[in-house]
Amino acid sequence: MAGINEAGDFDLEVAKLRTTSGKIVDLTASIVAITIFEDTGMSAVTGNILLQDSVALTSIGPIIGQEYLELKISTTTFTDKSAVIDFTKNVFLVHSLENRTEAGNNVQMYALNFTTSEIMKNQRTKVSQTLKGAYSDIVTNMLHDFVDCKKDMYIEPTSGTKKIIAPNIRPFDVIGIAAREAISERFKEPTYKFFETMKGYHFRSLASMYAEPPVMTYTTFVPGSNIIQSGPGKGSIDIIKDLSNVLDYEVIANTDTFVNYTTGTYASNLFVHDIFNKRYENFKHDVFSNFQDEKHISGFNSKRKDFPIYSDIKIEENGSKISDFPARTYVMPVTEHDTDEHSDASHITSNNTYPFASYNPQNWVQRRNSQMMQLEQGFIINILTHGNTLINAGDIVELDLPYKAAIKTTKNEQSDRFYKGMFFIKRIRHDFDFTEAKHQTHITLVKDSLEDLLDNAEDSWEPKPKGRGSLFNTKDDFYQNI
């Protein structure tokens, strides 16, 4: 770790712009700031670079939104190659120039927006063919053959052989279909996400990400506690400890009951209509009955059982709970062959066999929707930390925020009950400030389960008056002056 001064230091190794005229421009001396985004809900890494230009590069380059950006940034704290942001071979594509302003002394400021090549290739490519195989194989085909992906790919194997007829849609639209319906071969989970990080492309279930060990532990420290007290380096800053320091945080939201009712997170009905055999079946899903059959974040990295982030308290005097009201109903068709309930009767081979797995929405639609909404409407927090290129969207980290209260309880809690334990990195924003020579990360963390069961009172249903309100519906109530 020789040469390291403090957390947040970084090295800009390469920053070159290749213009449409063939010029290669070294941007190192012109950069004011670089911002890079990773998001598990997005299919590409994006970012922008803020430049101060004293040579009118926008005109003589020229810069028109069709340039290539080579970028390589490393965190001096880590020697691992996976911690290096390296887009010198798989370059970024600049797609627009914005916010061009005069800064004085014949210097202008502007931002270049960039993204990765695969999303641009996706925008100009259409798929019109029949696709066969496991969804994981189809996704691999889309990335390799249709968007020419040369990056590392993390493709979790899926179960069943499928057949998709792509009707002139983009490759990532095909992957969207696969992500929605795929079920993992290992975990039997229907919670696939498709996204890109600086490590490559990911097509994997939440369970496969939850199963990973935490890459960092984040907490808050008392000022001065990051100083090494004894041994080698005494009196200097403990860089690793400083990287795990939460500089600032903002609790975004807890669960939203209104949204969860509407989206069917708590409970839903599914009517599956078999149009081949002329029959239908009703499937019911509720968050409490199905919770232990699902994979959630707390259970993978702890020997303890995990619990829902919702209370199964009785909300009506008759004993009804929030999961007793299936506020969302799905109606979906299937075509199953009588000889094998897992075969798709709509796709037959030339030798009269049915090798393709049926649509089977009962295996994924309710469960996927509920689990995804549990994550979207879970315990969400934004934290600000010193820059760290080792972590990526989709990683697991451990969080331990201190208990904040003017009056301590008899339990003498040291950590916040809900904002401790394992969290999923939903998105990251890397900010490289060249005026301060510092790198900071803004991280959105979320969790969909708890380490402890929520307490429930026996008689805390909604208070209501015993009698009914008065009814006003006569003409004298509304038309007194007529």
Lowest-confidence range among 51-60, 79-88, 210-219, 285-294? 79-88
Q: What is the arithmetic mean of pLDDT over 96-111?
A: 87
- Rounding to the nearest 10 degrees, give the CA dihedral for residues 413, 417, 419, 422: 100
Q: Given the structure tokens 């401790």, which residue do they identify?
A: 420
Q: What is the arithmetic mean of pLDDT over 476-482?
A: 81
The DSSP symbol for 445 reads E
Cis geometry, peptide bond prior to residue 62 (ω within 30 degrees of 0): yes
pLDDT digits (tens, 9 = 90+) for 113-169: 999 999 999 999 999 999 999 999 999 999 999 999 999 999 999 998 888 889 999
pLDDT digits (tens, 9 = 90+) for 242-275: 888 899 999 987 788 899 999 999 999 999 888 8
* Residue 461 pLDDT exceeds 90: no
Residue type, position 109, single letter:
M
**Chain centroid offset of residue 189 CA:** 16
pLDDT at 27: 93
The DSSP symbol for 237 reads B
Query: CA angle at residue 39 from 33 to 42, to 5 degrees?
Result: 115
Q: What is the arithmetic mean of pLDDT over 104-114?
A: 89
The SS3 of residue 219 is strand
> To the nearest whole number, what is the mean pLDDT of the chain?
86
pLDDT at 346: 64
Domains of the chain, first to last = 1-116+238-249+380-448 (2.30.300.10), 125-210 (3.55.50.20), 255-339+359-377+452-482 (no CATH)
156 neighbors 190 (Cβ within 8 angstroms): no
Instruction: Name which of 118, 10, 4, 117 is nearest 67 in CA terms.
Output: 117
pLDDT bucket at 2, cuts 50 / 70 / 90: very low
pLDDT digits (tens, 9 = 90+) for 41-73: 999 999 999 999 888 888 888 999 999 999 999
pLDDT digits (tens, 9 = 90+) for 70-92: 999 987 666 667 778 999 999 99
| Separation CA 305–CA 250 (nearest Å) | 28
* Residue 301 pLDDT exceeds 80: no
